[in-house]
Amino acid sequence: MKKALDAWAKRAKSEGYRSRASYKLLEIDKKYQLISKSQIIFELGSAPGGWSQVISKNKKNDCKCISIDILDMEEIEGIDFHKLDLYSDEFKKRIENYSNSVDLILSDMSVNLSGIKVVDEEGNKDLNLFCLGISKQMLKPDGALLIKSFNNSNLLYLKKEFEKLFTNVYIEKPLASKTSSAEVYLLGLILK
Protein backbone atom coordinates (compact mmCIF):
# COMPACT_ATOMS: atom_id res chain seq x y z
CA MET A 1 0.00 0.00 0.00
CA LYS A 2 2.74 2.41 1.04
CA LYS A 3 4.45 1.68 -2.30
CA ALA A 4 1.30 2.69 -4.18
CA LEU A 5 0.97 5.88 -2.16
CA ASP A 6 4.60 6.75 -2.78
CA ALA A 7 3.94 6.26 -6.48
CA TRP A 8 1.29 9.03 -6.42
CA ALA A 9 3.66 11.39 -4.62
CA LYS A 10 6.51 10.54 -7.02
CA ARG A 11 4.25 11.05 -10.00
CA ALA A 12 3.15 14.44 -8.65
CA LYS A 13 6.76 15.47 -8.24
CA SER A 14 7.80 14.32 -11.69
CA GLU A 15 4.79 15.94 -13.37
CA GLY A 16 5.24 19.22 -11.51
CA TYR A 17 2.15 19.07 -9.30
CA ARG A 18 2.38 20.58 -5.84
CA SER A 19 0.37 17.76 -4.28
CA ARG A 20 -0.90 14.27 -5.03
CA ALA A 21 -4.37 15.77 -4.49
CA SER A 22 -4.14 17.02 -8.08
CA TYR A 23 -4.87 13.49 -9.32
CA LYS A 24 -8.11 13.33 -7.35
CA LEU A 25 -9.47 16.38 -9.14
CA LEU A 26 -8.05 15.24 -12.50
CA GLU A 27 -9.91 11.92 -12.20
CA ILE A 28 -13.23 13.47 -11.18
CA ASP A 29 -12.94 16.20 -13.80
CA LYS A 30 -12.17 13.65 -16.52
CA LYS A 31 -15.46 11.93 -15.70
CA TYR A 32 -17.69 15.03 -15.42
CA GLN A 33 -15.85 17.80 -17.36
CA LEU A 34 -16.53 20.36 -14.67
CA ILE A 35 -13.64 22.77 -15.26
CA SER A 36 -13.65 23.17 -19.04
CA LYS A 37 -17.37 24.07 -19.02
CA SER A 38 -17.00 26.81 -16.40
CA GLN A 39 -16.74 30.57 -16.75
CA ILE A 40 -16.46 31.38 -13.03
CA ILE A 41 -14.94 28.95 -10.50
CA PHE A 42 -14.55 29.33 -6.73
CA GLU A 43 -11.99 27.03 -5.12
CA LEU A 44 -12.07 26.80 -1.32
CA GLY A 45 -9.08 25.47 0.63
CA SER A 46 -6.61 25.71 -2.24
CA ALA A 47 -3.15 25.61 -0.58
CA PRO A 48 -0.56 24.40 -1.50
CA GLY A 49 -2.13 24.58 -4.96
CA GLY A 50 -2.38 21.08 -6.46
CA TRP A 51 -6.03 21.60 -7.48
CA SER A 52 -5.34 25.19 -8.58
CA GLN A 53 -2.70 23.84 -11.00
CA VAL A 54 -5.27 21.44 -12.48
CA ILE A 55 -7.78 24.29 -12.83
CA SER A 56 -5.13 26.55 -14.39
CA LYS A 57 -4.27 23.90 -17.01
CA ASN A 58 -7.80 22.84 -17.88
CA LYS A 59 -9.89 26.01 -17.69
CA LYS A 60 -10.95 28.11 -20.64
CA ASN A 61 -8.71 31.14 -21.24
CA ASP A 62 -11.39 33.58 -20.18
CA CYS A 63 -12.56 31.55 -17.16
CA LYS A 64 -12.07 33.38 -13.87
CA CYS A 65 -10.93 31.24 -10.91
CA ILE A 66 -10.93 32.67 -7.39
CA SER A 67 -9.05 30.46 -4.94
CA ILE A 68 -9.20 30.89 -1.16
CA ASP A 69 -7.16 29.55 1.75
CA ILE A 70 -6.27 30.68 5.28
CA LEU A 71 -2.69 29.73 4.43
CA ASP A 72 -0.39 31.41 1.92
CA MET A 73 -0.15 29.94 -1.54
CA GLU A 74 2.50 30.56 -4.16
CA GLU A 75 1.20 32.19 -7.32
CA ILE A 76 -0.29 30.05 -10.11
CA GLU A 77 -0.94 31.45 -13.58
CA GLY A 78 -4.59 32.33 -14.15
CA ILE A 79 -5.57 31.83 -10.50
CA ASP A 80 -6.76 34.79 -8.45
CA PHE A 81 -5.69 33.74 -4.94
CA HIS A 82 -6.93 35.37 -1.72
CA LYS A 83 -5.65 34.53 1.74
CA LEU A 84 -8.89 34.45 3.70
CA ASP A 85 -10.80 32.46 6.28
CA LEU A 86 -13.97 31.12 4.76
CA TYR A 87 -15.83 32.01 7.95
CA SER A 88 -14.66 35.67 7.94
CA ASP A 89 -16.80 38.73 7.22
CA GLU A 90 -14.31 39.60 4.50
CA PHE A 91 -15.16 36.39 2.62
CA LYS A 92 -18.88 37.05 3.11
CA LYS A 93 -18.43 40.52 1.67
CA ARG A 94 -16.45 39.30 -1.34
CA ILE A 95 -19.03 36.73 -2.41
CA GLU A 96 -21.88 39.27 -2.33
CA ASN A 97 -21.01 40.20 -5.93
CA TYR A 98 -21.33 36.62 -7.14
CA SER A 99 -25.01 35.84 -6.54
CA ASN A 100 -26.31 33.20 -8.99
CA SER A 101 -23.29 33.69 -11.25
CA VAL A 102 -20.81 30.92 -10.39
CA ASP A 103 -20.53 27.74 -12.50
CA LEU A 104 -18.44 25.65 -10.15
CA ILE A 105 -17.56 25.63 -6.45
CA LEU A 106 -14.79 23.24 -5.42
CA SER A 107 -13.75 22.51 -1.86
CA ASP A 108 -10.92 20.26 -0.74
CA MET A 109 -11.16 21.71 2.77
CA SER A 110 -10.96 19.80 5.98
CA VAL A 111 -10.35 20.98 9.54
CA ASN A 112 -6.97 20.74 11.23
CA LEU A 113 -7.29 17.48 13.11
CA SER A 114 -7.72 17.90 16.86
CA GLY A 115 -7.47 14.16 17.46
CA ILE A 116 -10.94 14.15 19.01
CA LYS A 117 -13.03 12.20 16.51
CA VAL A 118 -16.39 13.80 17.21
CA VAL A 119 -14.95 17.34 17.17
CA ASP A 120 -13.16 16.75 13.83
CA GLU A 121 -16.25 15.12 12.29
CA GLU A 122 -18.50 18.01 13.36
CA GLY A 123 -15.94 20.56 12.09
CA ASN A 124 -15.85 18.87 8.70
CA LYS A 125 -19.65 18.61 8.62
CA ASP A 126 -19.86 22.37 9.29
CA LEU A 127 -17.43 23.07 6.44
CA ASN A 128 -19.55 20.90 4.12
CA LEU A 129 -22.78 22.63 5.19
CA PHE A 130 -21.16 26.03 4.75
CA CYS A 131 -20.28 25.09 1.14
CA LEU A 132 -23.87 23.98 0.54
CA GLY A 133 -25.14 27.25 1.99
CA ILE A 134 -23.03 29.45 -0.26
CA SER A 135 -23.90 27.26 -3.26
CA LYS A 136 -27.56 28.22 -2.89
CA GLN A 137 -26.50 31.85 -3.02
CA MET A 138 -23.73 31.73 -5.62
CA LEU A 139 -24.37 29.00 -8.20
CA LYS A 140 -26.04 29.45 -11.57
CA PRO A 141 -29.06 27.14 -12.13
CA ASP A 142 -26.85 24.60 -13.95
CA GLY A 143 -23.94 25.04 -11.51
CA ALA A 144 -21.97 22.33 -9.70
CA LEU A 145 -20.53 21.79 -6.23
CA LEU A 146 -17.72 19.32 -5.52
CA ILE A 147 -16.55 18.95 -1.91
CA LYS A 148 -14.32 16.73 0.16
CA SER A 149 -16.36 14.83 2.72
CA PHE A 150 -15.86 11.75 4.87
CA ASN A 151 -17.47 8.34 4.94
CA ASN A 152 -18.70 8.50 8.54
CA SER A 153 -22.05 8.80 10.29
CA ASN A 154 -22.59 12.29 8.78
CA LEU A 155 -22.30 11.22 5.14
CA LEU A 156 -25.88 10.03 4.66
CA TYR A 157 -27.22 13.26 6.19
CA LEU A 158 -24.93 15.37 3.96
CA LYS A 159 -25.95 13.40 0.87
CA LYS A 160 -29.61 14.06 1.71
CA GLU A 161 -28.85 17.79 2.08
CA PHE A 162 -27.17 17.67 -1.36
CA GLU A 163 -30.24 15.93 -2.78
CA LYS A 164 -32.47 18.76 -1.50
CA LEU A 165 -30.41 21.26 -3.50
CA PHE A 166 -29.21 19.35 -6.59
CA THR A 167 -30.87 17.25 -9.28
CA ASN A 168 -27.95 14.80 -9.56
CA VAL A 169 -25.77 13.75 -6.63
CA TYR A 170 -22.75 11.46 -6.73
CA ILE A 171 -20.19 10.16 -4.23
CA GLU A 172 -16.72 9.69 -5.71
CA LYS A 173 -13.65 7.96 -4.27
CA PRO A 174 -10.77 8.72 -6.66
CA LEU A 175 -7.87 6.26 -7.01
CA ALA A 176 -5.38 8.80 -5.60
CA SER A 177 -7.42 9.01 -2.38
CA LYS A 178 -5.95 6.63 0.20
CA THR A 179 -8.17 3.55 0.59
CA SER A 180 -7.37 3.66 4.31
CA SER A 181 -8.84 7.19 4.51
CA ALA A 182 -12.55 7.89 4.97
CA GLU A 183 -12.21 10.74 2.49
CA VAL A 184 -14.77 10.83 -0.32
CA TYR A 185 -16.01 13.58 -2.65
CA LEU A 186 -19.64 14.67 -2.89
CA LEU A 187 -20.72 16.13 -6.21
CA GLY A 188 -23.96 17.97 -6.88
CA LEU A 189 -25.02 18.92 -10.42
CA ILE A 190 -27.85 21.27 -11.51
CA LEU A 191 -29.79 23.18 -8.86
CA LYS A 192 -33.38 22.06 -8.25
- Which chain residues interact with ligand SAM by CB under 6 A? 18-19, 21-22, 45-51, 68-71, 85-87, 108-110
Nearest to 127 by CA among 104, 148, 101, 97: 148
- The DSSP line for 55-106 is HHHHS-TT-EEEEEESS-----TTEEEEE--TTSHHHHHHHGGGTT-EEEEE
Residue tagged active-site, from 148, 159, 164, 173 = 148
- Closest CB 192 distance from ligand SAM, rounded Å: 27
Cα gap 125→130, rounded to integer Å = 9
Nearest to 49 by CA among 100, 11, 12, 101: 12
Type of residue at 55: I
133 or 167: CB nearest ligand SAM: 133
3 among known catalytic residues: no
- Closest CB 88 distance from ligand SAM, rounded Å: 8
56 or 190: CB nearest ligand SAM: 56
Q: Please report, for residues 43, 159, 173, 190, the alpha-carbon distance to residue 69 in angstroms, rounded to integers and kept in the order given.
A: 9, 25, 23, 26
Cα gap 144→142, rounded to integer Å = 7
17 or 162: CB nearest ligand SAM: 17
110 or 152: CB nearest ligand SAM: 110
- Closest CB 177 distance from ligand SAM, rounded Å: 11
- Closest CB 42 distance from ligand SAM, rounded Å: 12
Residues with catalytic function:
148
